[in-house]
Chains A and B, each alone.
Chain A
Amino acid sequence: MKILVCISHVPDTTSKINFSDDNTTFDTNGVQFVINPNDEFGLTRAMWFKEKQGASVTVVNVGGPETEPTLRKALAIGADEAIRVNTIATDGFSVAKQLANVINSGGYNLVIAGRESIDYNGGMVPGMIAGLINANFVNNCIELEVDGNSAKATREIDGGKETVTTSLPLVIGGQKGLVEESDLRIPNMRGIMMARKKPLNVLEPVNANPETTSVSFEKPTPKGAVTLVSPDNLDELVNLLHNEAKVI
């Protein structure tokens, strides 16, 4: 099994989100970047495939040199090698196209990406990769077992879950459930030292025109203070929800 784990380099959840003065770009000043949480579940599941079934694990990111610490962290967690496609990620389609090229030239048969990144929340890269390389695709995947060329997966559906069978080559849109939060690994000193020596290959991008363009950003209008209702006066809460908020 030759696994490629797609890693998005995203602002930590607790980061304050700010934009440039003209609101056209995300302001990265003072922002702590991390491995996208949905990708980290997939990376950990890939480590289990490596340890139990002898899979090789490559991690990949599309981005500038500033994203390399995130890839090094993935190497410290245990991936064998890393690839950075040297271009600024513009939209989901162009990222998927770069990744499809990496997959085609590297011969990976299992691609694990997060169901969405927590920055742009496009939720399209895994599916677009599958469409571009003509592989099977399971989204919102919460369990995955691979035996030879066959795979059994469980995906979360609205109101429950569904178990499916499929075969490699396979693209996974992963999320919590592939492994649990308590299974996530924090790199230890040995891992960090070893990661420095592991290959991080920089590939030049292929031509991929973005299909969508980000024009501007805005923050939601600040919310007013909470209206407190006494627990002894719940009629007032019902009244407010009905007459003021008009939601019941």
Chain B
Amino acid sequence: MSVLVYTESEQGAFKKAAFEVASYAKAVANQLGTTVTAVSINVNDTSALGNYGVDKVLNISNSQLDNFNANAYASAIKQAAEKENTQVVIVSSTADSKYLAPLLAVGLNAGYASNVVEAPSSTSPFTVKRTAFTNKAFETTQINTDVKIVGVSNNAFGLVENSVSASAEDFSPSIPDLGVTVKSVDKATDKVTIADAEIVVSAGRGLKGPENWGMIEELADVLGAATACSKPVSDLGWRPHGEHVGQTGKPVASNLYIAIGISGAIQHLAGINASKVKVVINTDPEAPFFKAADYGVVGDAFQVVPELIEKLKAFKAQQ
């Protein structure tokens, strides 16, 4: 009996979310008085997981799993959970983990709570706190099944170092019919994704046109942040759909969200409210975003942003 954590990777390296869910799994294991086993798929060096309290790694190497496939990945994790006689499975809130978790839940007859923001308040009954009503409320949920799946919200628990030496073991689950075949992937590999980002720099119609995004990208670059945009901007085709954040776009749960030239419609705020600290830069002091933000600058983005970039560069140089 151990806590099993699915540590997601990309191109053979762990995503940041993997270390966060490992940290969470360690906290749950401590509550239950047990150990943490991680499942990793096609990662060469898994030793970094030991920094976050993982005792054992089940290493799966299989070229059929080079592309993410929800069915096959869920099946592999299910087999790992059964082998380890697992009581609790921890996954992240990346697009891929949210895709496979419901399939895994059916496979394991496990209750699944998504968007969980804290360690369980109790393990018997197993009780967790999650966001609901698109970040307008928290829900305390009890998972009643023998096996439980917890989906941890991005950046909610944070990274907790807990150095142990992780042993590694090769694991070869059987692979079911894939059912869904990847034909092409269109992805910028050199950019921080919104899901993985600690800081998100987002801009709206206040920028007046797509040609003005250079300074947004530069600001993101200085901060190591992901770029995002409001719905009108993606509807106008100024920025790709994948950057649209808000209720019908991507959810954001970053540590810092900087909104530039975004008025703050309720649908936008709903999608980004899980971010911990919000900064707004807008010419209109009446923009609703000022009511949702922690820090605000009433000013013209075309003056404020370049100057902020210079100030941040100076700050970073001092660090």
Point out the residues of chain B lying under 8 angstroms from A122, CB to CB: 112, 114
Q: Does B99 contact A (CB under 8 A)?
A: yes
Q: Does B110 contact A (CB under 8 A)?
A: yes
Within 8 A of B (CB), among A194-239: 210-220, 223-224, 226-231, 234-235, 237-238
A156 touches B242 (CB 8 A): yes
CB closest residue in chain A, given B276:
A247
B199 touches A228 (CB 8 A): no
Point out the residues of chain A lying under 8 angstroms from B41, CB to CB: none
Query: Could you list 4 further interchain pairs (A-B, Cβ under 8 angstroms) beyond the known A123-B98, A231-B303?
Result: A93-B112, A158-B195, A181-B235, A215-B127
Point out the residues of chain A lying under 8 angstroms from B94, CB to CB: 158
CB closest residue in chain A, given B258:
A241
A240 touches B142 (CB 8 A): no
A228 touches B298 (CB 8 A): yes
Total cross-chain contacts (CB, 8 A): 266
CA distance A189 to B12 in the complex (A): 56
Known: A220-B137, A241-B277, A247-B255. A156 touches B199 (CB 8 A): no
Within 8 A of A (CB), among B255-297: 255-256, 266-267, 270, 276-277, 279-280, 290-297
CA distance A230 to B144 in the complex (A): 52
CA distance A234 to B71 in the complex (A): 50
| A44-52, A53-61, A129-137: which lies at the interface | A129-137
Q: Does B223 contact A (CB under 8 A)?
A: yes
Q: Does B140 contact A (CB under 8 A)?
A: yes
How many residues on A have C-beta within 8 angstroms of the other chain's C-beta atoms?
A: 83
- List 10 contacting pairs A-B, 8 Å CB cutoff, sorted by A: A14-B266, A120-B139, A127-B70, A137-B71, A140-B95, A161-B242, A176-B241, A224-B294, A227-B295, A248-B315
CA distance A210 to B143 in the complex (A): 9
Contact with B along A111-137 (1 / 0, CB 8 A): 000000011111111111011100011
Residue from A158, A176, A213 whose CB has the most chain B CB atoms within 10 Å:
A158
Known: A162-B185, A231-B298, A245-B277. A217 touches B112 (CB 8 A): no
Contact with A along B301-319 (1 / 0, CB 8 A): 0011001100110010000
B181 touches A165 (CB 8 A): yes
Contact with B along A146-180 (1 / 0, CB 8 A): 00000010011111111111110000010111001
Point out the residues of chain B lying under 8 angstroms from A119, CB to CB: 132-134
Is chain A's interface secondary structure helix, strand, loop, or mixed overall?
mixed
Within 8 A of A (CB), among B139-153: 139-145
Smallest CB separation, B140 vs chain A (Å): 4
Q: Does A67 contact B (CB under 8 A)?
A: no
Smallest CB separation, B127 vs chain A (Å): 7
Q: Does A193 contact B (CB under 8 A)?
A: no
A211 touches B182 (CB 8 A): no
CB closest residue in chain B, given A182:
B235
B266 touches A13 (CB 8 A): yes
Point out the residues of chain B lying under 8 angstroms from A91, CB to CB: 111
Q: Which 7 A-B pairs have the closest CB atoms?
A: A127-B102, A131-B106, A160-B187, A231-B299, A211-B111, A159-B193, A247-B256
**Of B113, B134, B294, which is within 8 A of A13 by CB?**
B134
Point out the residues of chain A lying under 8 angstroms from B247, CB to CB: 13, 37, 118
B256 touches A160 (CB 8 A): no
CA distance A13 to B133 in the complex (A): 9
CA distance A121 to B249 in the complex (A): 13
CA distance A90 to B291 in the complex (A): 34
CA distance A124 to B141 in the complex (A): 15
Contact with B along A17-46 (1 / 0, CB 8 A): 101000000100000000001100100000
Smallest CB separation, B194 vs chain A (Å): 7
**Of A92, A132, A142, A240, which is within 8 A of B241 by CB?**
A142
Q: Does B174 contact A (CB under 8 A)?
A: no
Q: Does B107 contact A (CB under 8 A)?
A: yes
Q: Does B35 contact A (CB under 8 A)?
A: no
Point out the residues of chain A lying under 8 angstroms from B199, CB to CB: 247-248
CA distance A57 to B8 in the complex (A): 37
CB closest residue in chain B, given A242:
B315
Smallest CB separation, A232 vs chain B (Å): 9
Point out the residues of chain A lying under 8 angstroms from B244, CB to CB: 176
A158 touches B95 (CB 8 A): yes
